Copies of this chain bind each other. A is one copy, B any other.
Amino acid sequence: MVSAIQKEQREQEIIEMIARIKEPFKMASRAYKGVDSVVTVEGRSIGNGHFAVIAGPCSVESHSQIIDIAKSIDGSGAKFLRGGAFKPRTSPYDFQGLQGEGLELLRAAKKATGLPVVTEIMSVKQLEDYADIIDVIQIGARNMQNFDLLKAAGKINKPVLLKRGMSATIEEFLMASEYILAGGNQQVILCERGIRTFEKYTRNTLDLSAVPVIKRFSHLPVVIDPSHATGDARYVESMSLAAVAAGADGLMIEVHNNPEKAVSDGKQSLTPEAFRALMVKVEQIAEITGKMM
């Protein structure tokens, strides 16, 4: 016995299902490109067997800070330097980053170490003004569906590291990457950084199952950010090793030479020593999973 209401429900579900199938990710999908994509910057690769660690402070604070950290993580095996010059802050009264000056300091750190720089851009204007002096453009979680910015990022010739929105489904995440790919830019790296749930002991809930799910549906490289996901340095090692074992293509880890005095997110930053120790273990597991570091 199937009732009238059940029939109506069924019809509705079929319509919704067809709608969903008709308009998913195209260029981001495995159906479009069978081989894993690899993004390469100055000889350093992420994806298709290449594993990369991106490390550095939450915010660029000073010349000595960023140079010290850059040298240290370089020595420990990081492939890229991260550091925020433009900071998306919940409050307008909080530190908004060193802006252009921060970018200059990142360039100095790159000069001192050779590490290409990953840094966040928050608007189309910043992209126009600064894309030339950044190696990998980061689009943050809060801007994952800033479609104007995504379209602009599709028109540049620079790799883009796109972070998953705090409450974005994986489907929406891949659709956001589709905006960049459809614009013509094929150098996209996806970054899972924790989703918003009811759990309170961690800042967000790291969704590591995003790794095999994305690997199934897409050819794009996937990087995990355990620092923002957990919000607590004590959980970063465990989640980093889990990410490698899960099959991620890279890690994005906050490192600070003086976490207690960091202007932002010190609580989640590893010391250079802890980062060095972590890298040894990361390498062991990456080897088992067949990744090159």
The interface of chain A, by Cβ under 8 A from chain B, is 1-6, 9-10, 13-14, 17, 20-21, 23-24, 26, 29-32, 88-94, 122-126, 142-143, 145-149, 151, 165-167, 169-172, 175, 178-179, 182-183, 195-202, 205-209, 211-213, 215-217, 229-230, 234-235, 237-239, 241-247, 281, 284-285, 288-289
Contacts and interface: CB of A to CB of B under 8 A. Distances in A.
A209 B209 contact: no
A287 B123 CA distance: 45
User: Which among A5, A147, A178 has the greatest number of chain B C-beta atoms within 10 A?
Assistant: A147
Given A29-B3, A166-B167, A238-B212, A146 B147 contact: no
Given A205-B207, A281-B288, A172 B238 contact: no
Contacts of A6: 21, 24, 29, 31
Given A200-B169, A209-B229, A281-B288, A238 B247 contact: yes
A291 to B, nearest CB: 13
* Identical copies in the complex: 4
A290 B129 CA distance: 50
Nearest to A151: B92
Contact of A213 (B169, B182, B235, B285): B235
B199 A211 contact: no
A235 B91 CA distance: 26
A126 B147 CA distance: 13
B235 A209 contact: yes
Contacts of A29: 3, 5-6
A167 B198 contact: yes
